[in-house]
Amino acid sequence: MSDNDTLQRFMFEATPVRGEVVHLDATWQAILARHDYPSLVRNILGEAMAAAILLAATLKLHGRLVIQIQGSGPISLLVVECKNAHELRGLAHWENLPEHGDLVSLVGNGTLSITLEPDDEKDRYQSIVELKGQSLADALMGYLQQSEQLDTYLWLAADAGRAAGLLLQKLPASGEFEDHDAWGRIIHLSSTITHQELLKVNQLELLHRLYNEENVRVFDPLPVCFRCSCSHDRVTNMLRTLGPDEVQDILQEQGKVSVACEFCNQKYEFDSVDVEELFASSIRSSTSETRH
C-alpha cells in the first residue's frame, strides 16, 4: 500500500508516548515545480514542511500554523504554512549560498517563530526564539522545550524526491501509566533512524523496524496535500488597501497591474477596466455601509 503524502499517527499502548510519521511526495513536488531551489535550501524547506504538518497534527489545529525563519545569512527567509492540519505551502529566499553549511551558518543571526492562527481568530498565538542548532530538527526541539515545555523529539529529512519526518511526544504523566522508563527507551530505539530510512522506508515497516519489541497502535493514515490559500479576492483586497492612486500609477507605468503569488506563482492580472471596477465597487460598498 502506498503511503505517499500520508501522515501516520501512532501510540505506544499503556505508555504516555505518542508519535507521527509523515511522507510528502506530490505535495513536495508541487512546491519544487514552482521554484528552482538549490539543494541546501530545498532540503531545509522540505524539512520545515514535514515539521509543520507534524506539529499541526499534534495540536489538531483548525486554522493556520506557520513556521518562519528569518536571518542575516545566505538564507534570509523561510516560511511554511500548514492549514487545517493537511494543506501545505512554503517558500524560501536566499542569496550568495555557500556549498556547505549547517542551519545556523546558513541563516546567520536569526529567529525561529511559530504562529498559530485558529479559524475563530480569537486566540492567535506567536512565539519567537533565537535560532539555534545545527539542523532544523535541533532548532525546533529547542523551541518546543523553551517556549512550550514540551518533551518532543523530531527527525526530519528531505531530498529531491520526498520530505519526511518522525515526531515523538511525551504526554503529561498520569496514574494510568505504569511504564515510567518508556520515554527514554523509545527515544533510544528511535535514535538509530537514518535519513535514508526516513525517506525510503514504508511508514509501517519503519515503525516495525524501530519498535518491534514495543506494543504500537496505529491509527488510520491521513492524507496531506499542497494547496495555496491565495485567491483573486485576496489580491483584490490587497490592491484596495494600496489605494487608487498607487494602483493607477502602476497601471500607467506597466499598462496593467500584475501580481504573482510568491508561494505558488499564480499570476493575477488587472487591466484598466478591472482597476476601475476594483475601486468603484469599494466606493459603493463603503457608501452603503455609511447608510446604516
Residue 83: CB atoms within 10 Å: 21
Least distance CB 231 / Zn ion (angstroms): 8
The C-alpha cell at 3 is 503511503
Least distance CB 88 / Zn ion (angstroms): 12
Nearest to Zn ion of 141, 228 (CB atom):
228
Strand blocks (E) in the chain: 6-12, 17-24, 63-71, 75-83, 87-94, 110-118, 125-130, 152-158, 163-170, 216-218, 222-223, 225-226, 257-260, 267-270
Residues binding Zn ion: number (CB under 5 A): 6
Q: Which of residues 222-251 bind Zn ion (CB under 5 A)?
A: 228, 230
Nearest to Zn ion of 74, 90 (CB atom):
90
The C-alpha cell at 107 is 541563516
Residues 6+ apart with CB under 8 A from 290: none
The number of angstroms, rounded, from the C-alpha of 186 to the middle of its chain's C-alpha atoms is 26
Dihedral sign for Cα 10, 134, 93, 241, please.
positive
Among 45, 54, 79, 264, binds Zn ion (CB under 5 A): 264
- Determine if 52 is a binding residue for Zn ion (CB under 5 A): no
User: Are the beta carbons of 72 and 121 closer than 8 angstroms?
Assistant: no
The C-alpha cell at 130 is 533565537
- Determine if 156 is a binding residue for Zn ion (CB under 5 A): no
- Determine if 112 is a binding residue for Zn ion (CB under 5 A): no
DSSP for 167-206 reads EEEEPPP-TT---TTHHHHHHHHHTT--HHHHHHS-HHHH
Nearest to Zn ion of 30, 150 (CB atom):
30
Residue-wise burial string across 217-248, b where 16 or more C-beta atoms lie within 10 A, e elsewhere: eeeebbebebbbebeeeebbeebeeeebeebe
Least distance CB 45 / Zn ion (angstroms): 16
Nearest to Zn ion of 68, 266 (CB atom):
266
Least distance CB 24 / Zn ion (angstroms): 18
Measured in degrees and rounded to the nearest 5, phi and psi for residue 61 equal: -80, 125
- Determine if 261 is a binding residue for Zn ion (CB under 5 A): yes
Nearest to Zn ion of 17, 264 (CB atom):
264
Least distance CB 228 / Zn ion (angstroms): 3
Nearest to Zn ion of 75, 259 (CB atom):
259
Least distance CB 40 / Zn ion (angstroms): 24
Q: Which stretch binds Zn ion (CB under 5 A): 41-49, 172-180, 239-247, 266-274?
A: 266-274
Nearest to Zn ion of 30, 182 (CB atom):
30
Nearest to Zn ion of 35, 200 (CB atom):
35
Q: Is 273 exposed, middle or buried (0-12, 13-18, 19+ CB in 10 A)?
A: exposed
Positions that interact with Zn ion (CB under 5 A): 228, 230, 261, 263-264, 266
